Structure 1
C-alpha cells in the first residue's frame, strides 16, 4: 500500500466531503467509524438501507479515461432505491478498490460521489480505499457503496395502497443510468460508431457516460407537500421497466404501460437499431427513458405531475393499474 498516496487522497477528499455535511454528522472523515445522530424530527423512525455498485459501465470509464461521473452513478443507485420506500437519504459510504492507487483518478471518482451526495442531500461520512496489488489490472478499480436513510413508520411506502384505476407516472431518465452496459459495450464493439461525432447535439461518448439522474429532492418535496399521495414508486434499474414495476405490486394487480405515451430517447433508438434488439428485450434490459415510476390515484395525477414538472422533472402518464387476469404478466409494455 502506497501510504503517501493514500494520505494525499484523504487530503483531496476532505473538502469534497465537507460540502455534503449535515447537522447530524458528528466528527469528520478519517476516523475508524462515522458517527451520525438521528434527528429528533422523527417520532417513529425506521432506517432504510441500500447498497449497489456501478457495474460494467466502469469498463468504459477505464477505456475512455473518464472517471468524474461514475461516482454520481454509485450514489444514485443506492439513494434512488431507498427513496422508493419514502426514505430521506441521510448518509453514504463508499468502497474504492484498486491494484495501485492513482490519486488523480480516485479524486475524480470521489468528486462525483460527493456531487451525488450533495444533489441528494445526504452526507458523505466515510469510506474505504483499498490498494490490493495483483487483484486488479493497471488503471482499473471497482466501486461499491451504501446509503442509509430514514422514514416515519407511518409514512413507509410499500405499494399496499395501490388499486386498479391508479395512474402510473414515469419520470424521465438522463440516459442508460448504470444498467445494461454489458449489452451497450457489445453493441459499441460490433457497430464501431464514431464516438466523438455529433449525436443529437452531443457526442455519443458523452451520452453513454451521462450519470444517473437523482430523483431524491423533487420526490421528497412532493411527499412533504402532498402527504399520502404517492402510493408506490419503482426505481427502474437492472431488469428495466418490466422487471422493476412488479416489485411494488400485489399479486392480483398488473401495470399496463403504453409505450406510445413517451418518445424513446435517441440513445435507446440507436441501441435498438444498431444491436437489433427486440423491443420487449429493450424494456427488460434498459430504462428506455423512464428512470423512476410513481403510482398515484387518478384524481391526484394532474396535481402530482404539475408539482414534479415545476421541480424540473419531465413527467409522462405512461399507464394504469388494473386487476390482473389469469396468466397475465404483472407489467406489460405495449
Structure 2
C-alpha cells in the first residue's frame, strides 16, 4: 500500500467518498487506510462498512488486513443519528491517540434505518453537518462513504454540502437550520392536551396505555422530563401509538444553540442543561422549532 501524507494535527478532517463501483470504493478506501497506518501517534485505522465491502478490503489489504479494525456497519450503527454521535465520541475517548488521532472509514447503513425515509435521511445529514462542529477540537480523520448504489443521488448531493472536501460545503449551522425549516406534520386534532409541565407519571401512564412496554414507557417519560428542563413549559401535547408515541412541549423561550443535545457529556453523569442529550439518545427524533412569540416547541418521538 502507498501511504499519503497525513493531515496536520489539531483539526477534524472530515472527508467524503461517493463510489459507484467496488473498484471506486477500494480506490478511495485503500489510500485512506494506508494513511492511517503510516500516521504517527495513532492506533490502527478502523473501517466501518457493509460486510461485502469489508471482504473487499480483506482481500485487497492482504497481510495488512490484520492491522486494520474491520467492523460491520450494522454493529456500529444500531440506532439513531444521535446514537451514532455517542458511539463515535465513546470510541474516540477509549481508543484514539493523543488529541483524538485516529482514521475512521465510516459507512452508515443506507439500505437500512439511515435511508428508510426522507425524514430519517435528513437526521443523518444534520448529524454529518454538525459533526464538523462537534469534533472540531479533535485530530480525527474521517472518510464517510456514500455508495451511490445504496445511498441514492439525492442523499449524496445533500451529504456533499456537509463535507469540507467536496467543493460545495456549506456552513453547518446554516445547513442544519435549512433542515429544521422543513415543517413537521401537525399534531392530530385528538391529541391529549396538558397544561404546564407534564408530570412523569402522567406521561408514563399515557405511553403505557398507548402500547409501550413498561421499560420503554419509563424511558419516554424520562426523556420528556429531561427535555422539559430546558425552560418554563407552558403546555404539552401527547399523541400516537406505540412505538411512535409523541410528546410536544411548548417552551416560553427559544433555545438558540444549534448543538443543543448533541454535545456528549464529559463524564458518566449528566450536568445541568444536558438533559436534551439524554432525550436525543432515547428518542428516534427530537425536533426544536420556533413556536412564535419568542417561544419554542420541542417534539419528541419515541420511535
Using structure 2 for the length normalisation, give the TM-score: 0.27
More helix by share: 2
Q: Of Structure 1 and Structure 2, which has the larger fraction of its residues in strand? A: 1
TM-score (norm 1): 0.26
